[in-house]
Structure 1
Amino acid sequence: MSVSVLSPTRLLGSVSGLLQVAFLLTLVLLLLKAAQLYLRRQWLLKAVREFPSPPSHWLFGHIQEFQKDQELQQFQKWVEKFPCACPRWMWGSKVILVVYDPDYMKVVLGRSDPKNHGSYRFLAPWIGYGLLLLNGQTWFQHRRMLTPAFHYDILKPYVGLMADSVRMMLDKWEELISQDSHLEISEHISLMTLETIMKCAFSQKDSIQTDRNFFYQNDIIYWLTPDGRWSQRACQLAHQHTDRVIKLRKAHLQEEEELEKIRRKRNLDFLDILLFARMKNGSSLSDKDLRAEVDTFMFEGHDTTASGISWILYALASHPQHQQRCRQEIQSLLGDGASITWDHLDQMPYTTMCIKESLRIYPPVPMVGRELSKPITFPDGRSLPKGV
């Protein structure tokens, strides 16, 4: 009988050999990655060579150019110095061509390039892959399905519902302003726009503005949880709220009287269109797709609208002479009428111009991102290759 014992020397030699192999393999992979990044950077430098920009660090890009809370001011300096567009290096192998010329934008937005995944993916946990984040054929399918929800015959009755929600908000303001000379309006406007879209697009009957189980603060939705605690987990609560809205509407559609009434309607609300698409063809819209479209329409819709309204009021307050002209125009239009109607909307040219100008200066969505699916040539002859 013989016993073979592995000596400590041989054991250490085996471990050392494995470490050497692992080290060499890691080194080779790092060198390959470095070469890949170098070649990518060289390609990008060549791609944007026609567009001048401030000097950038080979690794950190323009990060040192943008101090905290000074990004907009820095961009304004670039806009004045570099016409039409300017490359911004995020890091060594990542560059974005920032376009701020209207004629340039027309060329980009007139094409069907996909959305830039890197710029939009951070929204996915919040609103899912609905119309805002979808691309290609799936986007066209969803858009075609939802187009009837934006028919004028559907939108006209919404003006009255919007006016009711605004009136409720103004009544609250009158009460609050009697207690304090200052009032933070943006949070109230957010609740008002959320209530409006809930009533118009999702057939919600109750008022969000008076719901004690729900409030909005610092751009976060707070919801009273079953254990009686206020939670501020924004994404999770947004999904819970969406699920609740869908569940309630499904329950209504299961009632024969309500279902028949819906079927007799010539035009359907946003959520009814989605649910009927499911009823006609169960495979047309998954539960995940359904929630993503509702999340996108509800939260992106009300939040951007609230931001736009808040900045419009700020802009008017900053320019009293324009505010007074808007007030006079609306007062002369309404006369003794209690509220604005659909027919009034195209009879307010000066107010409309002020709204559009405010949206130009303070856009709720200040940028969109695209990734070129084919080369592009701009009006001044400068061009970019596919992939930028």
Structure 2
Amino acid sequence: MNRALKDLPKPSSHWFYGEAHHFFNRETVFQTMEKMSEEFNGLWKGKTGPVIERMFITKVKYAKEILNTAEPKDSFGYSFLKLWLGDGLLLSYGPKWFRNRRLLTPAFHFDILKPYTKLYSDCANALVAKWQARLENGDGNQIELHDDISLMTLDSLLKCIFGLHTECQNEKVEHPYLQAVQRVTYLLIQRFVNPILLSPFIYYLTPNSWSYLYNIHKLHSFTRKVIKERQALLKAKPDYTKHRRYLDFIDILLSARDENGKGLSDQEIADEVDTFMFEGHDTTAAGISFALYNLAKYPEIQEKCREEVMEVLGESDTVSWNDLSKLTYLTKTLKESLRVSPPVPSIQREITEERVLSNGMRLEKGVAIFLSIYCLHRDPDVWENPGKFDPERHAKKGDKDAFSFVPFSAGPRNCIGQNFALNEMKATIAIILKNFVLKEVEGFKPKPSMQITLKSLNGLPILIEPVA
């Protein structure tokens, strides 16, 4: 046992599963986490299996002391992602992380992001046309949000990262990239919660591992193919980027240079593309999907957002860069949705040098930490009546601890693409609200599940009606 954790309380333990058995029921994971947070005052320990022990943090006052550092992801917890995402910004640390973070930061400068708003609008309008056709064809007005929104965010990323204009939103068969992402994330969670499968020796003898490796190959084949095509194009036409209205993410990766004139290697480019495809697609889809569901759940808030959208957009069916800053109430509503339904429910860190918390606890090198964003966003010490959906919580800047609202993490290792994601979410939701009234499905209640990104085990359906 790590000496730093020996005095921490813990829930009841199983001889083999450790404390992991408390989270086997995927329908009650969040309720269990909240219950433990209250019981142990936001700080406790637990094992996932007979050996692997970590500290659980669910209170803002403790989380801020970890998030405010550049400590890397938990080397064990995130090691399962390594085969897929390689050494991109999400998983790298130390000098490599600092160098590549510095090289990639210009890719998310406002001047780069501005032209993307037109692409967000194009993708959102393609979704609107798809839903309108569904209503006109008499196919019913019930929509499964995550399916359609995932395709839309994939469409958007393909345009913004690679400059690829596809018809993936209208394909009859599910896009192979989307299929592979969903399968890989499901298998990763299945492995993480089952101590028997934590051993690589055992895992790679199971059918799950064969499916995992097959789908990883599909994902890599897709991204490598597009990267090679762009490299060949730039080699044949060196002035290609000079005559474009905007730069794709891959153009910036291929042209990035550090202070010594050295660029990213082919492997580094592939790792960053895989990382951004994963983080920019699935997390954004979850954020938009739950925001639309919450708008359907709270019709008065929805109507107030729609009135603002109509006033800002007028007759236009495109959200401009300047429009984004005018959608103030929609922004507050989106932030509240990200609070109650964080797209990434938890993150993990690993202590690389000894630290002392404000409560006097000494953390030794190697301590693994599990941070529940879901619980931080419900910390009653920070959020009054945390169960209430109230956009006005976000009306004033600076009235709450900066680490109380962390849908994109916080501190030095915050999400580099958070402005990209927020802009896409706002533009998409605005265009949908301009065209449709969203309503709840009677009797439906989602069953949120703590996967890599937030999912509902029983889907996320809503009803749509054309705006009168």
| Paired position in structure 2 for 1:56 | 13
Rate the CA distance shift 1:291–1:217 in 2: closer, same or farther, 3 A: closer
Q: Counterpart in 2 of 1:367?
A: 346
Of 149, 164, 178, the residue aligned with 1:204 is: 164
> Which digits, 9 at most, give the CA deviation of each residue in 1:154-177, with x for residues without a partner?
110110111001100110111123
Q: Does 1:215 align with 2:180?
A: no
Indicate the SS of the match to 1:183: strand
Partner residue in 1 for 2:204:
none
Which structure has the larger Rg?
Answer: 1
Matched residue type, 1:117? S
Alpha-carbon spacing, 1:322–1:148, altered in 2? closer, same or farther (3 Å): same
Instruction: Please give the per-residue CA displacement for 1:174-212, whole angstroms capped at 9, x wherever unaligned.
Output: 112331232212122111111111212222234432457
Q: Which residue of 2 aligns with 1:72?
A: 30
Structure 2 unaligned blocks of 5 or more: 183-210, 368-468
Secondary structure (helix, strand or coil) at the match of 1:364 reads coil
Across the aligned residues of Structure 1 and Structure 2, the Cα RMSD in angstroms comes to 2.8
1:19 alignment partner in structure 2: none
Alignment match, 2:115: 157
Selected match of 1:192 from 131, 144, 152: 152
Structure 1 83/171 Cα, relative in aligned 2: closer, same or farther at 3 Å? same
* SS in structure 2 of the partner of residue 220 of structure 1: helix
1:86-101 → structure 2 map (5 Å cutoff): 86-101=44-59
Normalising by structure 1, we get a TM-score of 0.78
Cα displacement (A) at 1:213: 7.9
Distance 2:236 2:104 in 1: 24
Cα distance in 2, alignment partners of residues 134 and 199 from structure 1:
26
Structure 2 distance, partners of 1:129, 1:251, is: 24
The answer to whether 1:276 aligns with 2:255 is: yes
Q: Which residue of 2 aligns with 1:5?
A: none
Write the letter of the residue equivalent to 1:295. D
The 3 A distance-change label for structure 1 pair 155 and 284 is closer
Q: Report the CA distance between 1:305 and its aligned residue.
A: 0.6
Native 8 Å contact 1:201 1:269 kept in 2: yes
Q: In structure 2, do the counterparts of structure 1 residues 266 and 172 end up closer, same or farther at CA, with 3 Å as the change threshold? A: closer
2:124 alignment counterpart: 166
Residue in 2 aligned with 1:234? 215
3-state SS in 2 of match to 1:370: strand
* Alignment match, 1:245: 226
Q: Distance in 1 between matches of 2:43 and 2:318?
A: 45
Q: Deviations over 1:303-352 (max 9, x none)?
A: 11111111111111122221121111211222233322111112222211
Cα distance 1:160–1:338, how it changes in 2: closer, same or farther (>3 A)?
Answer: same
For the residues of structure 1 that align with 2:91 and 2:41, how far apart are their CA atoms? 30
Q: Does 1:292 align with 2:271?
A: yes
C-alpha spacing 1:318/1:379, structure 2 compared with 1 (3 Å): farther
1:214 Cα deviation from its structure 2 partner: 6.3
C-alpha distance in structure 2 between counterparts of 1:146 and 1:383, whole Å:
34
Return the offset for 1:246: 0.9
Q: Find the aligned partners of 1:92 and 1:206 in 2 and give their Cα distance.
A: 48
8 A Cα contact 1:198 1:204, kept in partner: yes
Paired residue for 1:30? none
Identity %: 39
Cα shift readout 1:15-57 (whole Å, capped 9, x = no counterpart): xxxxxxxxxxxxxxxxxxxxxxxxxx2xx3x422443232434
Cα deviation for residue 385 of structure 1 reads 2.8
Task: After TM superposition, give the deviation of residue 276 of structure 1 in Å.
Answer: 2.6
Aligned in 2, Cα 1:237/1:243: closer, same or farther, shift over 3 Å?
same
Change (3 A) 1:217 1:253: closer
Asked whether the 8 Å contact 2:18–2:48 carries over to 1, the reply is yes
Give distance in 2, aligned partners of 1:162 and 1:252: 25
| 2:40 aligned partner | 82
**TM-score, with length taken from structure 2:** 0.65
Partner of 2:404: none
Q: Is 1:133 matched with 2:112?
A: no
Paired letter, 1:215: H
Shift, 1:218, TM fit: 7.7
The number of residues matched between the two structures is 334
Corresponding letter in the other structure for 1:139:
W
Q: Structure 1 pair 217/174, CA: closer, same or farther in 2 (3 Å)? A: farther
Which is worse superposed, 357-366 or 261-270? 261-270
Tell me the distance in 2 between the aligned counterparts of 1:135 and 1:171: 43
2:334 — aligned with what? 355
Query: What is the DSSP-based 3-state SS (H/G/I as helix, E as strand, rest coil) of the residue aligned with 2:47?
Result: strand
Q: Is the 8 A contact 1:124 1:133 kept in 2?
A: yes
